[in-house]
Chain A
Amino acid sequence: MKGLLLRDLRLAIRAGGGFGLGLAFFLIVTVLMPFGIGPETGIITAVAPGILWVGALLACLLSLDRIFALDWEDGSLELLATSPLPLEALAGVKALAHWLTTGLPLVAAAPVLAVLLNLPVPGFGWLIASLAVGTPALSAIGTFGAALTVGVKRGGLLLSLLVLPLYVPTLLFGAEVARRGAQGLDALTPLALLAGISLLALAAMPFAAAAALRVNLR
């Protein structure tokens, strides 16, 4: 399992752009938003938590179809399926690798972009906390979506269509934490609920993803 994780991380760094792509996309979405909304600082400050969360979510979505598609195309996936590694563990490791290469950089970059959007100072901690707790759920749910569509040619759009409704609760609670944090309200309750969703996704999604992979491999 450790070997697989290290291989995926190594590939993400070497694959020429796979690693920074989500981060760059996050930056562009966040920078474009004020152009669409208008330059009024008050409005931008008010919608900053939402923009940052939607931007992170879209950046996450962008790299989902790479989770299994590359291994599927070169035949590694069926070789891995015949290896001692259970498919559930494979899905879990893939989700973890996706989070380390996409989710974690987003968490680190969010405060920098939050400065651009004039996020109030007390909101920074809550924003980082909400992304740190919520992005693992995005990766885990996305891994399930990638497993569903791995056999579909040009499945990227389908993947987005399947995964976006599943992202609704995570986005609701995540943005709620960041928004309440920015307004100085109690943000612990939505954070606890967000953590609950993340734990549920981390516990259940590898099994659902493995079931989908098994169907697609046969």
Chain B
Amino acid sequence: MSLDVQSLACARGGVRILAGVSFAVARGEALILRGPNGSGKTTLLRTLAGLTPPLSGKVAAPPEGVAYAGHADGLKAQLSVAENLAFWAGVFGATGISAAVDAFDLAELLDRPAGNLSAGQKRRLSLARLLVTGRPVWCLDEPTVSLDVDNVARFARAVGTHLAAGGAAVIATHIDLGLPGAKSLDITPFTRAHQPRRPHHDDPFLSEGAL
């Protein structure tokens, strides 16, 4: 089992957003997170990546096994494409960047400063970073933003290769990636609006009775 989540509750800015989230993603599996804007997909992914501590519940993942990609590309405009990738490869202890370059067709852009790239090219570079992390579990937040149809397909192929190699992925997205055998999870039932109002709240300042 690559990722095992049990009755997880997540908070954003100290406010409980999701509660009772449970799912498991095995090696070679992808899970697509669905839910309307603001339902807590980003919060859930950040919790899975270990950035936000969970309010309660458990996330079991391989140690140092989660690679996260959020809305921001995390690129340095002054560095070239190759330098950006090589930096992340160095941080994650990867040996080379050629596989990542090939997977996202970056060979022609290698010497361009990242600041000169179009939004879609930046996105490809940002996603190529996932390959140099060498981590088995990918947590991706709207990875296909500003990608054209060809590059969405290219991204789907990269995810497919990752899964075939025994990796796993949790992806929040609204479009159909066409990943074979991908499971889908709608997080709406776990959001606040669908939770019963509990008399004993997690916030100690909301306990009933006058203060």
Would A and B touch once assembled, by the CB under 8 A criterion?
A: yes
Q: What residues make up the interface of A, taking CB atoms closer than 8 Å to B?
A: 2-4, 7, 10-11, 14-15, 73-76, 78-85, 217-218
Q: Are B74 and A82 in contact (CB under 8 A)?
A: no
**B76 at interface, CB cutoff 8 A:** yes
Q: Are B78 and A15 in contact (CB under 8 A)?
A: yes
Contact residues of B between 60 and 104, Cβ < 8 Å to A? 64, 66-79, 83, 86-88, 90-93
Q: Are B51 and A3 in contact (CB under 8 A)?
A: no
**Nearest opposing residue in chain A for B67, CB measure:** A82
A18 to chain B, nearest CB (A): 10
B196 to chain A, nearest CB (A): 27
Contacts A83-B92, A84-B93, A217-B51 given; does A75 touch B68 at CB 8 Å: no
**Nearest opposing residue in chain B for A18, CB measure:** B78
Q: Are B50 and A82 in contact (CB under 8 A)?
A: yes
**C-alpha gap A15/B69 in the complex (Å):** 25
**B52 at interface, CB cutoff 8 A:** yes
Interfacial chain B residues near A80, Cβ < 8 Å: 91
Q: What residues make up the interface of B, taking CB atoms closer than 8 Å to A?
A: 46, 49-53, 64, 66-79, 83, 86-88, 90-93, 129, 133
**C-alpha gap A85/B88 in the complex (Å):** 11
11 A-B residue contacts at CB 8 Å?
A: A7-B87, A14-B78, A74-B75, A75-B73, A78-B72, A79-B74, A79-B88, A82-B51, A82-B68, A85-B91, A218-B51
Interfacial chain B residues near A81, Cβ < 8 Å: 51
Interface SS majority for chain B:
loop
Q: Are B91 and A74 in contact (CB under 8 A)?
A: no
Interfacial chain B residues near A85, Cβ < 8 Å: 91
Contact among A73, A75, A84 with B70 in the assembled complex (CB-CB below 8 Å):
A75
Q: Are A84 and B68 in contact (CB under 8 A)?
A: no
Contact among B52, B64, B78, B92 with A11 in the assembled complex (CB-CB below 8 Å):
B78
Q: Are B51 and A75 in contact (CB under 8 A)?
A: no
Interfacial chain A residues near B73, Cβ < 8 Å: 74-75
Interfacial chain A residues near B66, Cβ < 8 Å: 82
Interfacial chain B residues near A218, Cβ < 8 Å: 51-53
Contact among B64, B72, B92 with A74 in the assembled complex (CB-CB below 8 Å):
B72
State the 4 A-B residue pairs at the shortest beta-carbon distance, nearest first.
Answer: A75-B72, A3-B90, A75-B74, A14-B78
**Nearest opposing residue in chain B for A2, CB measure:** B90
B46 to chain A, nearest CB (A): 8
**C-alpha gap A82/B36 in the complex (Å):** 26
Interfacial chain B residues near A10, Cβ < 8 Å: 78-79, 83
**Nearest opposing residue in chain B for A80, CB measure:** B91
Looking at A2, A14, A76, which has the most chain B CB atoms within 10 Å of its CB? A76
Looking at A7, A14, A79, A83, which has the most chain B CB atoms within 10 Å of its CB? A79
Q: Are A75 and B71 in contact (CB under 8 A)?
A: yes
Interfacial chain B residues near A2, Cβ < 8 Å: 90
**C-alpha gap A103/B69 in the complex (Å):** 34
**C-alpha gap A79/B138 in the complex (Å):** 12
Q: Are A84 and B76 in contact (CB under 8 A)?
A: no
Contacts A83-B91, A84-B91 given; does A76 touch B68 at CB 8 Å: no
A3 to chain B, nearest CB (A): 3
**Nearest opposing residue in chain B for A3, CB measure:** B90
Looking at B71, B86, B90, B129, which has the most chain A CB atoms within 10 Å of its CB? B90
**C-alpha gap A84/B49 in the complex (Å):** 12
